[in-house]
Amino acid sequence: MTDEQLLRYSRHILLDALGIEGQERILATHALIIGAGGLGSPAALYLASAGVGKITLVDDDTVDFTNLQRQILHTEARVGLAKAVSGKQALAAINPDIEVVPLQQRLSGEALDTLVASVDLVLDCTDNFATRHAINRACVHHKKPLVSGAAIRFDGQISVYDLRRDDSPCYHCLFPEGDEVEEVRCAVMGVFAPLTGIVGSMQAAEALKLAAGIGESLTGRLLLLDALTMEWRTVRFKKDAGCAVCGPNGSGRAGEYLRQSGADREPATGACRLA
């Protein structure tokens, strides 16, 4: 670690639980953030400021004027620019010493699988179930920790699926694919701007803990926030032994992932739907 890094990250280094060793692990981390919208914005900003050495930021959308109410990576001057490119500019302004790789594309199939295999952890900041399940399968396949958040109206949620652990549930254990679940868009239902900041910042916190190897993650716990009353609720859940993805006969097994997964479905990026 250089003298400049020792100074920049000094407030982390002062934390006994983190210290120089933990900060060095953060500096060596490659994080994948899928979605540069309401959740991806604060998550990316905090990972960059904290010194995550490499961030791959994926979003196929462009900055729209209606995004500016909550997507704090972007500015009015960058309306019309690719969100991934706009995000890179914002992160470079925060911390020019890290590497940011912007990808303006829809991740699916082998591209998603290959990218997840190349990183240390994944933050799901997307907005629909097909995408979330595809990301989950790739993370199960490659045993990568997954930090998942969602926000709509005044309701937020966050959990961690540390798929390096044999006892960790996956996203499918909690939200089985094929269940009848209503999907709603923020364009129709609205979303409280600070809510995306709260959930996205918590995703960054969980990702940094995973990167540094400190603390206790949200694995096996789903946190639910009602921002109108500012009350949190915790739901505990366990690995489903019969899970179609992470179970012994699941599609997340090596050799089965690409054939059985829904990873070839078109994902949409953003950060506005609950679950």
The predicted-structure confidence for 45-94, as pLDDT tens digits, reads as follows: 999 999 999 999 999 999 999 999 999 999 999 999 999 999 999 999 99
Say whether pLDDT at 273 is over 50. no
> In this structure, is residue 272 part of a structural domain?
no
Q: Counting beta carbons within 10 angstroms of the beta carbon of residue 96, is it exposed (0 to 12), middle (13 to 18) or buried (19 or more)?
A: exposed
Q: Domain containing 77 — which CATH number?
A: 3.40.50.720
Q: Is residue 183 part of a domain?
A: yes
Q: What is the pLDDT of residue 260?
A: 43
- Does residue 67 lie within any of the structural domains? yes
In a domain, 18, yes or no: yes
18-32 CB burial, b ≥16 within 10 A, e <16: beeebbbbbbebbbb
Evaluate whether residue 268 is within a structural domain. no
Report whether 3 contacts 27 (CB < 8 A). no
For 161-203, how does the pLDDT look when each residue is reduced to its tens digit (9 = 90+)?
Answer: 999 999 999 999 999 987 555 555 565 688 999 999 999 999 9
Residue 271 located in a structural domain: no
pLDDT beyond 50 at 27 = yes
Residue 269 is assigned to a structural domain of this protein: no
30-44, 182-196, 201-215, 235-249: least confident range: 182-196
Angle in degrees, CA 244, 262, 116, rounded to 5: 95
Tokens of 181: 């679940």
Domain that holds residue 214: 3-260
Q: How many domains does the chain have?
A: 1
Give the tens place of pLDDT for each residue, 106-160: 888 899 999 999 999 999 999 888 899 999 999 999 999 999 999 999 999 999 9
Query: Is residue 267 included in any domain, yes or no?
Result: no
Does residue 186 carry a catalytic annotation?
Answer: yes
**Catalytic one among 186, 243, 246, 272?**
186
